[in-house]
Chain A
Amino acid sequence: MLGLNSKDTMLLIVVAFLALAAPFLLNPFPTNSSLAQFNAGYPDLMQRFAIFGIFAIGFNILFGLTGYLSFGHAAFLGVGSYAAVWMFKLLSYNVIPAIILAVIVAGLFSVLIGYVSLRRSGIYFSILTLAFAQMSFALAYSVLSNPKFNLTNGETGLQVYGDDPQILHREGLPDVPHLFGWAMRDNFLELEVAGWEFTFNNGYYLCAVILLVVFYLAIRLFRSPFGLMLRAVKSNQQRLNYTGLNPKPYTLAAFIISGMYAGLAGGLLAAMDPLAGAERMQWTASGEVVLMTILGGAGTLIGPVLGAGFIKYFENIFSKINDNVLHQWFAFLPDGMEDFMVFIVHPFVGKGWHLTLGILFMLVVTFLPGGLVEGGQRIARLFRRRGKKTDTPDPEHHPKETPHVAE
């Protein structure tokens, strides 16, 4: 289907199901239960899952396939956001021109940075990208927001003001980002079933559809000759050179494509919430997408999306668990035990969410070298083995597992 083999089609269908049914799947707990804290099915977080999924998929096209570790990808995300908000300010709140310009501007920016940075490889490349991104961040935060030439609005973040031109804005259109009048922040459906409630948000579904499109494009790219060349770049540049292929344009193209993915993510962030802050370009943000990709499984198709979801979930859900919530959870215990349990769990939640995240990074990378995807594969294998115990492995039809290659 759609030019994919049956395995990839299955993967795409699974991802489409997960994305489209997310409002149900992410709200597994009844709203009044004490576990409702773990529900993630509200618009903002679902949007973030999809957007950072896109960001990580794009990053993985560069890092997972070619092995070039960019430490400055957040710059493209930030540039995309700024471009989108500028479109809101100048044209109108319609998200289509904003997203398109975000992709284009991020693409141009990545041509520039990629062309220079790709003259070096290995850690030298990483530091070059880092340097460019940090420069962009520092300038956006301060110099580019001076009153005379305010391109970024600095610390406050670029936003739309009442006196902005918005030349295409018409009466009757919403005063928030919208898709031809379909406001991003609105919910087209809210469902209450017994104790559960589910929210279907316009913005999220736009993100989800775009996620599916770019995920599909990523599958095609992975299976294409171009994708093969990128993997060849990672595997052995010397051989590639002596096979008559020029690695430079391949890596540059990969860099630009992943920069455009990042710009798309940045544009969508602005489309969901029309404010672009400079922190989006800081090295910690670049580091975050690296962590998402490695955590999920670099070089796999679905891994980066999982990694993005994992980190955003922690950031948004675990950071909100405070002592009050803990006391509610452990209320069933005798008083002393309750306090003791709260005391034990307290350092790992709420303001300690970073600690839990750090520990999980270490555990995952130590015990699951292929990231979360490998974890999934192991579980799947476990089930398969249980299912048919008498099956003798056939070496001919079960070639050696190849980690770090598209699954």
Chain B
Amino acid sequence: MDAILLQILNGLDKGSAYALIALGLTLIFGTLGVVNFAHGALFMLGAFCAVTLQRLLSLSFETIDETKTDFLGNPLKVKTPYVEGWFGPEVGGAIIDWAVPLSILVAIPIMIGIGFAMERGLIKHFYKRPHADQILVTFGLAIVLQEVIKYFFGANPIQTPPPDALLGVVNLGSWLGLDLPYPIWRLVYFLFAIVVIGGVFSFLQFTTFGMVVRAGMADRETVGLLGIDIDRRFTIMFGLAAAVAGLAGVMYGPIVAPNYHMGMDFLVLSFVVVVVGGMGSLPGAVLAGFMLGILESFASTTWATTTLPGINQIIIYLVAIIVLLTRPRGLMGRKGVMEE
């Protein structure tokens, strides 16, 4: 029982990341009709927003400590972050400690900016082009983005630890009489994902902007005829999708150390999630994200892998095949989207 609940929790966490990426991906599909292979790269860029902020906050001045030596036997240069110099070790240390959550504030404008730039500078020219061309150009962009990150940050994973206060484990089951130790940061991530997903949905549900975008998803030409500047709104939509993917990346850093190819690792999976959820369906993407996350968790249990060796490697694809063969347009897909 405890083990099962624990796996569900794990699945929800994995599912949160899938859902957030898939959400943006399906928004872009639905509104712009663009297959964005660079969406994984946006997730990666988000994570590197956190890395960059952490590095910026830890920028240090050097003082020479004659009592110690470095690896070459020279006097050791002791580094002290400027932040600690300015605010004192305690406040400064706390600021560095909270680098990841603080990155959210930085990442939102940066990611929206990147989204705008991508849409205006590149994607805009590909609305009328075949999907194959969109794939090629966004794939090229994804490679360029990750190579740029590799150039500056290297290929090795970089630790972005959570704040000390959010480190450690909380026992979720204590009030149920169960033993459910779970890392605090993972709970934070899950709650954060729920908030972001809720935010996106209410934004689309309750604002006029959202209404126009939803109408645009249903029928782009009609809305165009009404004289609404749908293109500009779509640009904003792209920025929003980029921000969602970026935020998913920022907060994911403490769970999996960011590296330059993490976007590619998630790209294929998030496409599967979107398609299983149903093309152009926002609730579908979220549902499929959580569903696949939980199934993946269960498939990783010893029981599953001893019964069916290798099931943990293929579960997501197996489920995708079964869903697509029984439900032609995924769980909640609309007819006619991306079927040509």
Contact = CB atoms under 8 A, between A and B. Distances in A.
Contact of A359 (B129, B144, B310): B144
B148 A366 contact: no
Contacts of A181: none
A187 to B, nearest CB: 36
Interface residues of A, number: 46
B328 A120 contact: yes
Interface stretch (B61-69, B133-141, B183-191, B228-236): B133-141
A193 to B, nearest CB: 39
Contacts of B143: 354-355, 357-358, 361
B114 to A, nearest CB: 16
B321 A132 contact: yes
Given A122-B340, A143-B309, A283 B268 contact: yes
A143 B329 CA distance: 31
A99 B320 CA distance: 33
Contact of B317 (A131, A357, A362): A131
Given A120-B328, A132-B321, A354-B147, A139 B135 contact: no
B272 A355 contact: no
Contacts of A134: 268, 314, 317
A123 B338 contact: yes
A358 B143 CA distance: 5
Contacts of A357: 140, 143
Contacts of A124: 275, 279, 324, 328-330, 338-339
Contacts of A128: 320-321, 324-325
Contacts of A120: 324-325, 328
B141 A362 contact: yes
A31 B310 CA distance: 50
Contacts of B140: 357-362, 365
Nearest to A234: B340
B313 interface: yes
B72 interface: no
A263 interface: no
Given A122-B338, A124-B330, A130 B144 contact: no
B106 interface: no
Interface in B120-144: 122, 125, 129-133, 135-137, 139-144
B264 to A, nearest CB: 8
Contacts of B313: 135, 138-139, 141-143
B3 interface: no
A361 B271 contact: no
B314 A361 contact: no
Interface in A237-295: 283-284, 287, 290-291, 294-295
Q: Which of A122, A131, A298 has the most CB of B within 10 A?
A: A131
B317 A123 contact: no
A369 B122 CA distance: 14
A119 interface: yes
Interface string B92-136: 000000000000000000000000000000100100011111011
B108 to A, nearest CB: 27
A90 B18 CA distance: 45
Contacts of A287: 139
A353 B139 CA distance: 15
A402 B190 CA distance: 51
Given A131-B321, A283-B268, A139 B314 contact: yes
B325 A119 contact: yes
Contact of A361 (B125, B139, B309, B340): B139
B131 A69 contact: yes
Contacts of A404: 130
Contacts of A369: 129, 133
B176 to A, nearest CB: 36
Q: Which of B139, B147, B318 counts the most A-chain CB atoms under 10 A from its CB?
A: B147
Contact of A352 (B147, B279, B320): B147
A360 B143 CA distance: 11
A121 B264 CA distance: 25
Given A358-B141, A361-B143, A362-B141, A123 B314 contact: no
A4 interface: no
A366 B318 CA distance: 36
A130 B268 contact: yes
B275 A127 contact: yes
A380 interface: no
Contact of A130 (B141, B272, B328): B272
A18 interface: no
B18 to A, nearest CB: 14
B206 interface: no
B132 A121 contact: no
A294 B148 contact: no
Given A294-B135, A352-B151, A366 B324 contact: no
B275 A361 contact: no
Given A121-B340, A124-B330, A124-B339, A366 B137 contact: yes
Interface string B303-330: 0000001100110111011001100111
Q: Which of A123, A290, A291 has the most CB of B within 10 A?
A: A123
Contacts of A67: 340
A165 interface: no
A134 B330 CA distance: 19
Nearest to A63: B132
Interface string B235-269: 00000000000000000000000000000100010
B35 interface: yes
A360 to B, nearest CB: 8
A245 to B, nearest CB: 18
Contacts of A130: 268, 271-272, 317
A135 B314 CA distance: 5
Given A142-B313, A365-B140, 20 more contacts: A69-B135, A116-B321, A120-B324, A122-B340, A123-B131, A124-B324, A124-B338, A131-B317, A131-B321, A143-B309, A143-B313, A146-B309, A284-B264, A294-B132, A294-B136, A298-B132, A347-B151, A354-B143, A358-B143, A359-B144
Q: Lowest 3 A-B CB distances belong to which pairs?
A: A361-B140, A358-B143, A143-B310
Interface of A: 63, 67, 69, 116, 119-124, 127-128, 130-132, 134-135, 138-139, 141-143, 146, 283-284, 287, 290-291, 294-295, 298, 347, 352, 354-355, 357-362, 364-366, 369, 404
15 contacts: A69-B132, A123-B35, A124-B329, A127-B272, A127-B276, A130-B271, A131-B316, A131-B318, A283-B268, A347-B151, A352-B147, A361-B136, A364-B136, A366-B122, A404-B130
